[in-house]
Structure 1
Amino acid sequence: MIAMDTKTEIQNHHSTPTSGNNGNQQSSSHQQTNSSQLCAGCGKHIQDRFLLRALDLLWHEDCLKCGCCDCRLGEVGSTLYTKGNLMLCKRDYLRLFGNTGFCAACNKVIPAFEMVMRARSNVYHLECFACQQCNHRFCVGDKFYLCDNKILCEYDYEERLVFASMANHPILKRHASGSLPGTPPNSIPTSVSSPISQNGHHHGMMQTISSPRSQNNDMNNNQNGLNGVSSPFGTPTHMKQVITTN
């Protein structure tokens, strides 16, 4: 980032012509002043009332422009940005050479101009937005779970819950209900939306939805009301008989 002087009024020194050596000195001094006020952009003399000073050079107001959007830099602020031989306004510099942050999956920088996917406060490259267990690529409308700050597909999330329950209660798990436990507080089921651009326009919003396992829990609760005990191997034999009789 380079500081740029705002409009500076050119001081014109008007002197009455005199004869002799003094007159020649004043004339040469006036020519040196005019020659030093050459525009670095077009190479012509700056005869306007105001000029701009940037990069230790003088510029016409119309010649000091952003190399990308062609806006006049003297009108958009008092600073300019350079990249190589390119002068840019702040907006284009950040858009081209800034960054959105680091991808939560690969930990690499995400350029500001790239489309991204978001889950809570995490940001992802489009190619990195996949299940971090099986590398399944999500499509729009697919459900995923953010568990322990990792993205999981529905299958791997449920599998993780089953293994965690079996590790904690290996004996009780054999006689427990076939329904999966509820969603832990640190995980959220979410539907995949379209990518989000970095220019502030969202092409889709992620919406938190209810877990499909809540419906299974309701069905298991109804079975518990009828039988008192549920089984991971299906409906008990006497219950099947009742259903068949009806």
Structure 2
Amino acid sequence: MTMDKSQLPKNTGSNNNTPQECAGCGKIITERYLLKALDMYWHEDCLKCGCCDCRLGEVGSTLFTKANLILCRRDYLRLFGHTGYCSACSKVIPAFEMVMRARNNVYHLECFACQQCNHRFCVGDRFYLCENKILCEYDYEERMVFANMAYNPPNIAQLKRHTSHIPKENQMLDPVVVTRD
């Protein structure tokens, strides 16, 4: 439900500009501005959330009603919103909490990290959803290499070709020692 913040019309003596009665306190609205919500008029101070008592005209242009309560968005979601479960830790995510989404999976902000190495993602980082797990780019590529090797194992000739550059044991080079002059 939305509310409108309107300027009180000037009294011109016509019947269309009769003073408005506040739905909250029942008094005539004489202030310059009034709120219109639920097809009624309100003083700015009278239209408040039934739970936290915040002034709804100050927190946005949306209000929620249920069970004869007028509520701000946060309290409505806290009381009546749908909660879900984090795909990483399986704990409850309250409806009013900020979350991260990847396809159909929902995560706490602090749980949105690579589930292999626990790398926390920053804006612009690439991530992959593989077997319903979030992976960083490095762990995803590593997993793909091993999966490819499992499905297409290299033969002996390929292994010899890939390992031919490695020196044999008796051809090992002397280790390099870093010294200070």
TM-score, scaled to structure 1: 0.37
More relative contact order, 1 or 2 (CA 8 Å, 6+ apart): 1
